[in-house]
C-alpha cells in the first residue's frame, strides 16, 4: 500500500521469485526511495497472472502512483498479461536474452523453474548443498570437533560475533562446508587454540567485532548481565584478537558488514570456490 513517498514494488516470477528480488533490490538500493514490497512466486498460468495484474492495477487506481514491477516469466502469454498492467514493468531476464541470442547464435528455450528448480543437471549440486547445510548444523558452536578434515573453513570468534549465520549462509548459498568454534568467557583466563583445531591451521578464519556492537547485541539476549557488559565484551574481543594474531590466523571485523558480505569476503580471502545452484 502506498503511503506518502513510499512506492509499491512487485517481484513476480513463474518460479521462486528469488532472482527478481535480488535484481530488484540491487537496482533499488541505488535510489533513496522508501518501498513496500510484494513478492509473488509461481505465477505460472494466465488465471494467476490476471489476479496479479488486478492487484497491481488496484494500487495504481487507489494511489495514482505506478507500482514498480520486476518480473521473470518465460511463458509469453503469462508475461504479456503482466506487461498489460499499470505497473512500471521491468523484465529482468528478457532484457538480456536478445543480445545473448545474437552473441551465442542460439535461440533460447524457455523452461519455467530452470533458475532455482531441481533438475537432473543440478541434482548433484543440490545434494552437495544439503550436505553442506547438514555439516554446518552438526558443527555449529563447537558441538562436534570430529570430521574437521571435511571442513572447508572453520570460523573462530567470541559468542554472538556472527559465526553461526555466516556458516549457514556459506552452506546454503555456496555449498561450503563450514564449522565454527566459540571462545567463551571461561576461556579468557588462559586462552589457547584448542588442540583439535591446530592440525587445520589453513582452514581457520577468525571473526571479530567492535566491543560496543557486541555489547548491544548481547544486551538484546541477556540484558544487564556480565556477559553483555561492555567491559566483558572488550576483554573477550581483545583476548581473541591477540590469539588470532599470535597464530597468524586471518580474520575479519564483522561490525559493519552484512552476513552476505562477510561470507563473500571469507570466500575471497581464503580462495574458496563458490558453487552456484
CATH of the structural domain 7-104, one choice from 1.10.1060, 3.90.25, 3.40.1350, 3.40.50: 3.40.50
- Which of 243, 232, 267 is CA-nearest to residue 160? 232
Residues in Cβ contact with 67 at an 8 Å cutoff, skipping those fewer than 6 apart: 7, 8, 9, 10, 56, 59, 60, 86, 87, 88
The percent of residues in the chain predicted with pLDDT above 70, rounded, is 93
Can you tell me which residue has the cell 509461481?
42
Q: What is the pLDDT of residue 85?
A: 98
Give the helix ranges, DSSP H, for the chain. 18-28, 46-63, 76-83, 94-104, 123-138, 163-174, 211-221, 230-246, 259-270
Give dist(CA 47, CA 161) in Å, integer.
47
The percent of residues in the chain predicted with pLDDT above 90, rounded, is 79
Give dist(CA 98, CA 93) in Å, integer.
10
Q: What is the pLDDT of residue 128?
A: 86
**pLDDT band at residue 1 using 50, 70 and 90 as cut-offs:** very low
**What is the pTM assigned to this prediction?**
0.74
Cβ of 277: how many Cβ atoms within 10 Å? 15
Evaluate whether 136 touches 170 at the Cβ level (below 8 Å).
yes
Asked whether the domain spanning 120-270 has the same topology as the one spanning 7-104, the reply is: yes
**pLDDT band at residue 120 using 50, 70 and 90 as cut-offs:** low
- Report the pLDDT averaged over residues 181-210: 95
Give dist(CA 9, CA 37) in Å, integer.
5
Tell me the CA distances in angstroms from 34 to 8, 66, 78, 80, 168, one per residue in order.
9, 14, 29, 28, 30
- The domain defined by 120-270 folds into Rossmann fold (3.40.50)
Q: How confident is the model over 183-197, as pLDDT tens digits?
A: 999 999 999 999 999
**pLDDT band at residue 129 using 50, 70 and 90 as cut-offs:** confident
Q: What is the pLDDT of residue 108?
A: 78
Q: How confident is the model over 43-54, as pLDDT tens digits?
A: 999 999 999 999
Helix (H, G, I), strand (E, B) or coil at 180: strand
Per the model's pLDDT, the better-predicted residue between 112 and 104 turns out to be: 104
Each domain of the chain, given as residue ranges in start order, spans 7-104, 120-270
Give dist(CA 59, CA 47) in Å, integer.
19
Amino acid at each position: 500500500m502506498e503511503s506518502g513517498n513510499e512506492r509499491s514494488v512487485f517481484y513476480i516470477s513463474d518460479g521462486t521469485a528469488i532472482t527478481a528480488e535480488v535484481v530488484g533490490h540491487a537496482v533499488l538500493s541505488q535510489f533513496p526511495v522508501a518501498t513496500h514490497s510484494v513478492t509473488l512466486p509461481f505465477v505460472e498460468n494466465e488465471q494467476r497472472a490476471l489476479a496479479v495484474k488486478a492487484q497491481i492495477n488496484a494500487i495504481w487506481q487507489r494511489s495514482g502512483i505506478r507500482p514498480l514491477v520486476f518480473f521473470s516469466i518465460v511463458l509469453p502469454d503469462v508475461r504479456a498479461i503482466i506487461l498489460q498492467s499499470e505497473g512500471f514493468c521491468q523484465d529482468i531476464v528478457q532484457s538480456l536474452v536478445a543480445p545473448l541470442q545474437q552473441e551465442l547464435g542460439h535461440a533460447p528455450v524457455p523452461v519455467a523453474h530452470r533458475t532455482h528448480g531441481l533438475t537432473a543437471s543440478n541434482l548433484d549440486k543440490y545434494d552437495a548443498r544439503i550436505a553442506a547445510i547438514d555439516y554446518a548444523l552438526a558443527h555449529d558452536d563447537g558441538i562436534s570437533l570430529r570430521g574437521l578434515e571435511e571442513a572447508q573453513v572453520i570460523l573462530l570468534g567470541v559468542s554472538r560475533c556472527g559465526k553461526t549465520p555466516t556458516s549457514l549462509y556459506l552452506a546454503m548459498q555456496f555449498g561450503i562446508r563450514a564449522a565454527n568454534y566459540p571462545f567463551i568467557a571461561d576461556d579468557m583466563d588462559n586462552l589457547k587454540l584448542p588442540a583439535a583445531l591446530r592440525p587445520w591451521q589453513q582452514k581457520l578464519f577468525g571473526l571479530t567485532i567492535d566491543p560496543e556492537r557486541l555489547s548491544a547485541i548481547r544486551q538484546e539476549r541477556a540484558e544487564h548481565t556480565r556477559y553483555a557488559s561492555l567491559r566483558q565484551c572488550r576483554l573477550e574481543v581483545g583476548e581473541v584478537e591477540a590469539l588470532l594474531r599470535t597464530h597468524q590466523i586471518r580474520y575479519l571485523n564483522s561490525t559493519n558488514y552484512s552476513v552476505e558480505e562477510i561470507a563473500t569476503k571469507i570466500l575471497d580471502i581464503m580462495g574458496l570456490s563458490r558453487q552456484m545452484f
